[in-house]
């Protein structure tokens, strides 16, 4: 089968591609780089207005005329690639706005690529209209919108995905859902908003390439190492301020028994190696399920503080604090969990082993690829 994967911002499509290729399929990823992360893609859509004078010119023209030079640049490249991006059996878009363009241009790109190929699918694995609307209506007890709605984060609005609630993005959403064969969720945070939607085809857990992410059983000879990787652009959205509150408490109590590593906005290739010596990784707060960074860290045997809410426990029939640690939006609660692990280092080893087994069972990239193939081929909408 010939498969085109459109967009990449978490390595999801890369791992899926690796699984599909193991099963004998021909897979192409077309995407632009996501900020500083620079994931591998087969066909790179180059953005040329991201920094320096060109970015300033782009921003000025957009303010004056509501015309986005970068969106025009991206669309031109896509149209020039028509012969290469045509004739696929399946196309899967990673998001309703896979290239970060204006909604009109995203709509034109979606219409073009979907018309050049046979069946078209959409992933819900990041901010989109349905997930943001669900969170905005306070259907979650907390969500990625919590820092914004509480007034904590007054700096950045864009990371919260509120653009998807504007009229132009709603038009884009409706057009996409009218034309896709179906939508697939990558975890519980996107599964819950989509339940009972007529186009929803179900949850397929994020694929993780367990062949290239080697498990290392933790050894604790001296200090317990805690890793906190900060994405500066998503500082409040990921709950980094809460993690820093927790670390401040723990440093005061156990400075002689712990080592803390903090990094900021590393490219993916550096980030994935930067926490190798860590026993514990602080991932994100406002989630019910694990995102991609957490899953990869769990595959490597880290004890991860991340989304692990009761809805996730019930879905996979798990016990609390056996696979991952649910990071509540409360610095003291997180500090107490860290203290529990520091005083019970055997739990670190136990959770590490359990986490790897969980990834192998539910997130193996080949098993995940088989589920995608089954969903794509069984759907006859």
What pLDDT shows up at residue 70? 92
CB 238 within 8 A of CB 254: no
- Cβ atoms of 145 and 135 closer than 8 Å: yes
Residue 117 inside a domain? The answer is yes
CA-angle at 355, arms to 5 and 225, nearest 5°: 105
Tokens 């004056």 -> residue: 64
Three-state SS at 121: strand
Residue 242 lies in a domain: yes
Question: Residue 226 pairs with which residues in a beta bridge?
Answer: 260, 280
Say whether both 333 and 373 belong to one domain.
no
Tokens of 106: 């995203």
Do both 52 and 140 map to the same domain? yes
Same domain, 196 and 236: no
Same structural domain, 65 and 111: yes
Pair (11, 87) in one structural domain = yes
Is 254 among the domain residues? yes
Quote the number of domains for the chain: 2
For the chain, the first-to-last Cα distance in angstroms comes to: 18
Helix H, strand E, coil C: the string for 194-233 is: HCCCCCEEEECCCCECCCCCCCCCCCCCCCEEEEEEECHH
pLDDT of residue 61: 85
Asked if 166 and 284 sit in the same domain, the reply is no
Q: Is residue 214 part of a domain?
A: no
C-alpha distances out from residue 77 to 81, 101, 127, 240, Å:
6, 13, 25, 37
Does one domain contain both 266 and 141? no
308 and 262 fall within a common domain: yes
Report the SS3 class of residue 160: helix
Same domain membership, residue 311 and residue 177: no
Q: What is the pLDDT along the chain (381 residues), one digit of tens a residue?
A: 999 999 998 899 999 999 999 999 999 999 997 555 567 899 999 988 878 888 888 888 888 878 889 999 999 999 999 999 999 999 999 999 999 999 999 999 999 999 999 999 999 999 999 999 999 999 999 999 999 998 888 776 677 899 999 999 999 999 999 999 999 999 999 999 999 999 999 999 999 999 999 999 999 988 999 999 998 888 999 999 999 999 999 999 999 999 999 999 888 788 888 899 999 999 999 999 999 999 999 999 999 999 999 999 999 999 999 999 999 999 999 999 999 999 999 999 999 999 999 999 999 999 999 999 999 998 654
pLDDT for position 23: 98
162 domain-assigned: yes
Identify the domain containing residue 18 by its residue range: 2-207+365-378
Residues 277 and 172 in one domain: no
Q: CA–CA separation, 337 vs 228, rounded Å? A: 15
In a domain, 217, yes or no: no
Nearest to 253 by CA among 328, 340, 327, 324: 340
User: What pLDDT is stored for residue 35 in this prediction?
Assistant: 56
Q: What is the pLDDT of residue 221?
A: 87
Please give the model's pTM, rounded to 2 decimal places. Answer: 0.93
**At what angle are helices 345-362 and 292-299 packed, to 10 degrees?**
110
Tokens of 361: 């069972």
Q: What are phi and psi of 6, to 5 degrees?
A: -105, 115
- C-beta separation of 230 from 243 below 8 A: no
Q: With respect to residue 61, please indicate whether it lies within any of the assigned structural domains.
A: yes
Q: What is the DSSP string of 23-88?
A: TT-EEEEEE---TT-----SEE-----SSHHHHHHHHHHHHHH---HHHHHHHHHHHHTTTTS-S-
Please report whether residue 317 resides in a domain.
yes
Chain centroid to CA 95: 11
Of 354, 230, 226, which Cα lies nearest the Cα of 279? 226
CATH code where residue 249 lies: 3.40.50.2000
Tell me: do 201 and 236 sit in the same domain. no
Looking at the fold, whether 193 and 250 belong to one and the same domain comes out as no
Contacts 24+ apart (CB under 8 A), 275-278: 275/227, 275/229, 275/300, 275/302, 276/216, 276/300, 277/225, 278/225, 278/226, 278/227, 278/302
């Amino acid at each position: 089968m010939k498969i085109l994967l459109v967009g990449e911002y978490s390595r999801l499509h890369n791992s899926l591609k690796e699984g599909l290729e193991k099963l004998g399929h021909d897979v192409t990823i077309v995407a632009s780089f996501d900020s500083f992360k620079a994931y591998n893609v087969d066909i790179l859509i180059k953005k040329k207005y991201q920094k320096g004078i060109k970015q300033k010119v782009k921003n000025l023209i957009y303010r004056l005329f509501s015309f986005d030079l970068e969106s025009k640049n991206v669309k031109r490249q896509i149209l020039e690639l028509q012969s290469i991006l045509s004739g696929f059996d399946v196309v899967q878009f990673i998001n309703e706005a896979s290239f970060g363009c204006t909604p009109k241009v995203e709509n034109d790109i979606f219409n073009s690529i979907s018309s050049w190929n046979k069946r078209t699918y959409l992933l819900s694995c990041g901010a989109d209209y349905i997930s943001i609307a669900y969170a905005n209506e306070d259907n979650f007890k907390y969500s990625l919108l919590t820092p914004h709605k509480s007034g904590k984060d007054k700096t950045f609005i864009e990371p919260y995905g509120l653009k998807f609630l504007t009229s132009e993005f709603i038009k884009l959403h409706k057009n996409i859902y009218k034309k896709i064969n179906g939508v697939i969720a990558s975890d519980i945070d996107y599964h819950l908003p989509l339940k009972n939607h007529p186009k929803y085809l179900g949850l397929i857990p994020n694929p993780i390439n367990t062949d290239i992410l080697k498990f290392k059983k933790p050894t604790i000879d001296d200090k317990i190492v805690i890793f906190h990787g900060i994405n500066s652009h998503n500082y409040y959205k990921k709950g980094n301020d809460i993690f820093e509150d927790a670390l401040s408490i723990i440093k005061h109590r156990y400075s002689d028994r712990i080592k803390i590593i903090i990094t900021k906005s590393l490219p993916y290739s550096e980030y994935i190696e930067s926490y190798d010596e860590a026993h514990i990784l602080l991932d994100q707060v406002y989630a019910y399920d694990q995102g991609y960074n957490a899953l990869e860290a769990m595959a490597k045997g880290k004890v991860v503080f991340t989304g692990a809410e009761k809805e996730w426990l019930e879905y996979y029939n798990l016990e609390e604090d056996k696979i991952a640690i649910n990071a509540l939006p409360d610095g003291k609660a997180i500090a107490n969990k860290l203290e529990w692990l520091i005083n019970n280092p055997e739990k670190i080893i136990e959770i590490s082993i359990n986490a790897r087994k969980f990834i192998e069972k539910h997130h193996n990239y080949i098993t995940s690829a088989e589920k995608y193939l089954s969903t794509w081929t069984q759907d006859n909408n």
